Structure 1
């Protein structure tokens, strides 16, 4: 057969007529609208398609009950339309209207999916979590259930927007129409709220978190606030903390001390075996019998808040995000006192806690048994401990930052041979699993954390060159479907206790108990009482015998359980 005879039609020859046939009627669908008309249609669509989680939460709160409830609901709908019209009115021009609207349609579809399926509130802390989450963790949230929402709520309306022609007007006429439209929207929003002011104001005052469900205004406002707060002109170096710190009362001739701080991820107190959970999720630690603190409150419901807070002397009661971020941390105080620190990370960084200090990421280590290219199991942190034990004869505090129970892919946080509870959820889409399967996967991940902690303690027990201690403390908890809530990061004021109650355990070598004069029985009695992240700063300083004006004896968990040494 000749080359000519075997020639096949080219792609343009085949696809050209098809595309031409499709473009014809598609072009006829195009309409001509003014920017204000497009903004009004978009605002109506936002209120109807993106704000179902808001109205559902408002109804569930009981704030729309009573004879005025339906009036308040209609008023809120009109107010949401008007407020988004005002927002779009400030963003839309003849050149920006279509790209801005398409971006909002796509992002709003994504936001609605996560609000509906995971009960996410898009406040500033959640936006920071999103911006600071690494690609591998974010990829676990991109699942097949996301595609229908993105297609139906976002992509299809975006295609329609492409067919819109924005009318041209003189700038004077445009300015007049825009100003009048925004003024009318302001009056309409005010009127809609005033119609049932008592009901509406009571709802929004008693349930302030609901504003973080009004989409897309929620994430736009939060994104602007984060940009303003996080990108202000730099104020210079961090505020010094503990520059006068020094070690006092260290016994002469004692072995060098090594304190290992293990920071857990997303482990909640309710599922911690040592806390009396129905399942023994901590069998290895139970055999070791560490000091277990059963009532510990986290500083935040997400890592971005909790991690800097727990290493700060400011704490939750006087929480000030900017002040904490601009101040030196516990690790800096230890360095000022002459105690070496090193942060070994199997997650997304130290969130500024170890800035300018020794830091090593193990999250993408080359270990075929523990790493898959995207994540490493927490057993990889044993390498950080080994490095610390070989680090000389000076006192050290080493932080091991776990990946722990980071969701939604709990099944990726433990090896296949650690599947103690079956059937476990092996999907990143929690909606595809029943609650029992989700809890099984979550508990399996805790059992692996238990095994890792026991392995670290065994390594410390085998070391004869240091007096050693290990403190494990999770950064925050997790929701596993209670009341329809999943994952974590709800605003602290409304976060359920499963997101803010965390486990904490302590283990000490006999050498440290002796050299520090530690009364472990006394400490066990203290462990029955409430504690919090606020205790970490002063407790570590107290254990390491660091004196500094920032030390608060009232927050030192060891105070009263050690004898004076000299």
Structure 2
């Protein structure tokens, strides 16, 4: 990297040093924030972490380069590029690169990922990714003799074991903080956690486990509309006591009820799974739309989002499908989900209908682009994807405007349902997870649920009922898993897996 014809052992050490220098500021920032760095024990622990990281990376890079210098250098280039991007997101959004975040990344589509593009990202990529990659490629390395290689490996391995033993007193602190430390160590955070993610995916059922057959108990025309929110936190809904009037239209609707609820995860794929399954489980049981469709209920799914488990129904409509017959500015936003909706419902020849609307309204970082201009109620708004560059008020204003727009969509939906006078109607609105907006220097979502702040977990659960359709229980707390059983109850579906205690209805 510094000159031509450098020995692989020296090259591995130099790469390890620059890997530590360029990509581990967040790692050591976390360390210094979580121990007394001015004490002797704190200084020794920091020094130990620096030394062990340097030696371990040199050890692993050395082995890879010796086996194949070409493949080894290729991997180092990949590491440099991915490290630069990872550090940008850690510094900008305070994310943690664990298995959960890897799942989030791998389930992100082009539209969402492109919204993160910024000048800051380009600078990180060029300075910390591309320039080091060029130097790695141009440096010529010389392999050492096999005997010398074995001696180096053996001595390094012995040193690592001895070092670990000597530092045994620090293992309690390291174990306590292992999740965060592992998620900030480059490149192993994403290498290890990507492997963990795919191992977990392979262990999941390849096909959904079918639930027991159900039957429809009556012929009363009934429709349940499940609206799945995106990144909506209850804290910013005026229906939940927020000081800014973000729900002016829903507040005027009759028969609107709110529940205190928490999400079971902080990312879309897991959050939506919780909403659609009949109980919390690591298994992939048949989800609500598939179950009802298989048991002769009309099921319609409309989405501007992604991340749901496999939906096996006839009427599944993505944004592209809905755009064909849509006109006006609203077609560029989530109100496209309402276009032609009443007509589609009336065209059904079945008595029981489940309609799912999967929105994307409050997903960051481009909150200001998630709603039409006329919903720019609170100003000024954050217009940068690098959210930390905005003031707290600008960020809240942009996000709050997405809630105002959500209020409009839900109220418009209720108005359409009111026109279906021959139906008993219910609307359930519940979010997949919440959102951080700069509290504790955290942004967006994806922090592991076990350590996530309340902003990423506390979600709205809003229910509207048509007149004289059903009575609600007095309980005002609910969970994402209440949705499955409440929908079955409202549509009068008799099933062996129905749990009366999980329904919100009397």
TM-score by length of 1: 0.83
Of 551, 554, 557, 2:501 maps to 554
> Cα offset for 1:290?
4.3
**Match for residue 519 of structure 1?**
471
Of 452, 463, 472, 2:420 maps to 463
Q: Deviations over 1:27-73 (max 9, x none)?
A: x9642223333222222222222111111122223375743111111
**Match for residue 210 of structure 2?**
240
Summarize the Cα distance change of 1:185–1:274 in structure 2 as closer, same or farther, 3 Å threshold. farther
What are the residue-to-residue correspondences of 1:66-215 with 2, within 5 Å?
66-92=39-65, 93-168=68-143, 173-174=145-146, 176-206=147-177, 208-215=179-186
SS at match of 1:145: helix
**Match for residue 23 of structure 1?**
none
Residues 29 and 163 in structure 1, CA contact (< 8 A), matched pair in contact too: no
> Cα offset for 1:542?
2.1
Aligned-partner Cα distance in 1 for 2:100–2:360: 20
**Match for residue 439 of structure 2?**
482
Aligned-partner Cα distance in 2 for 1:160–1:311: 50
**Match for residue 501 of structure 1?**
458
Of 304, 314, 331, 1:346 maps to 304
> Cα offset for 1:503?
0.3
Residues 269 and 307 in structure 2, CA contact (< 8 A), matched pair in contact too: no
**Match for residue 199 of structure 2?**
228
- Please say which of residues 361-370 and 449-458 is displaced more in the overlay: 361-370
SS at match of 1:266: coil
- Please say which of residues 85-94 and 420-429 is displaced more in the overlay: 85-94
Gaps of 5+ in 2: none
Larger radius of gyration: 1
Residues 478 and 498 in structure 1, CA contact (< 8 A), matched pair in contact too: yes
Aligned-partner Cα distance in 1 for 2:86–2:313: 36
| Shift >6 Å, 4+ stretches | none
Aligned-partner Cα distance in 1 for 2:91–2:129: 15
Q: Does 1:420 align with 2:420?
A: no
SS at match of 1:451: helix
Aligned-partner Cα distance in 2 for 1:349–1:208: 25
SS at match of 2:5: strand
Aligned-partner Cα distance in 2 for 1:394–1:34: 76
Q: Deviations over 1:478-498 (max 9, x none)?
A: 000111110100111111010
Aligned-partner Cα distance in 1 for 2:19–2:53: 9
Q: Does 1:219 align with 2:194?
A: no
Residues 107 and 307 in structure 2, CA contact (< 8 A), matched pair in contact too: no
Aligned-partner Cα distance in 2 for 1:463–1:36: 75
> Cα offset for 1:145?
1.1
Residues 261 and 470 in structure 1, CA contact (< 8 A), matched pair in contact too: yes
Aligned-partner Cα distance in 2 for 1:388–1:91: 60
Aligned-partner Cα distance in 1 for 2:3–2:426: 70
Aligned-partner Cα distance in 1 for 2:114–2:309: 21
Gaps of 5+ in 1: 1-27, 562-566
Aligned-partner Cα distance in 1 for 2:307–2:446: 18
Residues 224 and 490 in structure 2, CA contact (< 8 A), matched pair in contact too: no
> Cα offset for 1:257?
1.0
Residues 76 and 192 in structure 1, CA contact (< 8 A), matched pair in contact too: no
Residues 274 and 292 in structure 1, CA contact (< 8 A), matched pair in contact too: no
SS at match of 2:446: coil
Q: Deviations over 1:112-163 (max 9, x none)?
A: 0101111111112211211121111101111111122222211221121122
> Cα offset for 1:185?
3.8
SS at match of 1:31: coil
SS at match of 2:132: helix
Residues 330 and 372 in structure 2, CA contact (< 8 A), matched pair in contact too: no
Q: Deviations over 1:260-291 (max 9, x none)?
A: 10000000111111000111111111111444
Q: Does 1:51 align with 2:7?
A: no
Summarize the Cα distance change of 1:420–1:497 in structure 2 as closer, same or farther, 3 Å threshold. same
**Match for residue 534 of structure 1?**
481
SS at match of 2:269: helix
Of 278, 282, 306, 2:271 maps to 306
Aligned-partner Cα distance in 2 for 1:535–1:552: 9
Summarize the Cα distance change of 1:285–1:472 in structure 2 as closer, same or farther, 3 Å threshold. same
Aligned-partner Cα distance in 2 for 1:463–1:84: 65
Please tell me the root mean square deviation across aligned C-alpha atoms, in Å: 2.4
Summarize the Cα distance change of 1:236–1:101 in structure 2 as closer, same or farther, 3 Å threshold. closer
> Cα offset for 1:84?
2.6
Q: Does 1:42 align with 2:15?
A: yes
Summarize the Cα distance change of 1:180–1:201 in structure 2 as closer, same or farther, 3 Å threshold. farther
Aligned-partner Cα distance in 2 for 1:236–1:356: 18
Residues 71 and 196 in structure 1, CA contact (< 8 A), matched pair in contact too: no
Aligned-partner Cα distance in 2 for 1:147–1:185: 37
SS at match of 1:343: strand
Aligned-partner Cα distance in 1 for 2:351–2:107: 34
